[in-house]
Amino acid sequence: MQVTYWLEHAWIDPEVEPGVVVDVADDGRIAAVRTGVELPPPGAVVLRGFTVPGLANAHSHAFHRALRSTVQVGSGTFWTWREVMYQVASRLTPDSYHALARAVYAEMALAGVTAVGEFHYLHHAPGGTPYDDPNAMGEALIAAAAEAGIRITLLDTAYLSSGFGAAPNQHQLRFSDGTAEAWAERCSALKERGHARIGAAIHSVRAVPAGELSTVAQWAEARRAPLHVHLSEQTAENDACLDAYGLTPTQLLREHGVLGPRTTGVHNTHLTDGDISLLGSTGTGTCMCPTTERDLADGIGPALDLQRAGSPLSLGSDSHAVIDILEEARAMELNERLRTRTRGHWTAAALLRAATVDGQAALGWHEAGRIQTGALADLTTIALDSVRTAGAVPRLAAETAVFAASAADVRQVVVGGRQVVRDGSHALIPDVASELTAAITALRR
């Protein structure tokens, strides 16, 4: 259905433009953009506030949303947190995962996310037995995204080892296909559709033995698909990789053909100067997840050095300690300020690019992330009159969005020309909080 939107203020990179008209064609793409239109044309849908291209959540583990608050009790490390995560994973079925993911993706829509990269490794039934449909869990996620009204890139993940060739532990049997060849055979049966694309992921160098890495990389290369990998999140993993192979994780990935412009390293926290140079020179992307990285006490990654070296930046909410891509963008800059004790490492526009066009590209949605003719009509509107944003100077709306607004300030979300969020409420799922409560409570019984 053709529709026209009038945007009170819009980010037409790199400027904030007042009075922008966006015409959407039948195919859900932008047919025309007109600026300087002071009043809404007759019949136009009015989006008051500051509209940016739809936000991309480039790294998600949907079931981790069930951990929120419970893993905040007491102290511990990434490794003790992982044990709690395993317990939640052990209880999920295709039906319960669908219910949880539908609610989580609806929460993302309310936060302005129009596309999610789901790093999906929970493949099989407890004990590792495949479901009748070997991709039942992945299909549950794809269906959940459709019902929540957002796009998904299912990053089907190879997870074969408990660590550098050791057999999977009892919790990880659900994750493992046994070999990379078996992984490739299973995920080759997944089909793309209008709202869903299929990519690949290597869980980590500890979970995929060196001899299996190239199989995953070649599968992605043959399909021109995105390839993501958890990279150097923990120093313990770096040390173990050096012991096992005499190489850093980044060097190991390079040796087996994993790095490149369609590849994104997630976290990239504990890197050598040589690692940074390798990632930059190959055009390998970096997905920073600051709220999770600080929640798990992982450390602050060298995002600025990576970008300067040539690694495009994207953002993710990862374990969903919070779901707020604006907070992720803000945190990346504020972390760097704490680390260096200087300010202004990225402009607001640069941070918005990480949250929009570069995040969408990392997920294979190259036609998204811009308000321009031919792009997907995916839009997120942020209020400029909330208690956080009131008094904003319109020409500085980008600075207001990145450094003051939060997910609570998202008022309108359009995906493919269709309103998914209207006046701060989800248009397809009337009570997202109740669905989250029901889905999470069911996993605690």
CA–CA separation, 288 vs 356, rounded Å?
A: 14
Please tell me which residue in 156, 295, 298, 318 is annotated as part of the active site. Answer: 318
10 three-state secondary structure? strand
Length of the chain equals 445
123 three-state secondary structure? coil
Contact 229, 253 (CB under 8 A): yes
Q: What angle do CA 318, 192, 429 make, to 5 degrees?
A: 60
- The residue among 292, 304, 306, 234 whose CA lies nearest residue 264 is 306
Q: What is the dihedral of CA 305, 309, 310, 312, to 10 degrees?
A: -10
For 423, residues 6+ apart whose C-beta sits below 8 A from its C-beta are 411, 412
The alpha carbon dihedral of 83, 62, 330, 250 has a sign of: positive
Largest CA distance in the chain: 68
DSSP state letter for 372: S
Q: Is 256 one of the catalytic residues?
A: no
Q: Is 318 one of the catalytic residues?
A: yes
Contact 346, 333 (CB under 8 A): yes
Please tell me which residue in 203, 256, 267, 320 is annotated as part of the active site. Answer: 267
For residue 426, what are the β-bridge partners? 421
Beta strands in 93-250 (DSSP E): 113-120, 151-158, 196-202, 227-231
CA–CA separation, 410 vs 109, rounded Å?
A: 9
Contact 169, 194 (CB under 8 A): no
DSSP state letter for 387: T
Number of H helices, E strands in the chain: 15, 16
CA–CA separation, 9 vs 6, rounded Å?
A: 9
241-245 contacts at long range (C-beta below 8 A, 24 or more positions apart): 241/164, 241/205, 241/206, 244/164, 244/165, 244/210, 245/210
Q: Which residues are catalytic?
A: 267, 318
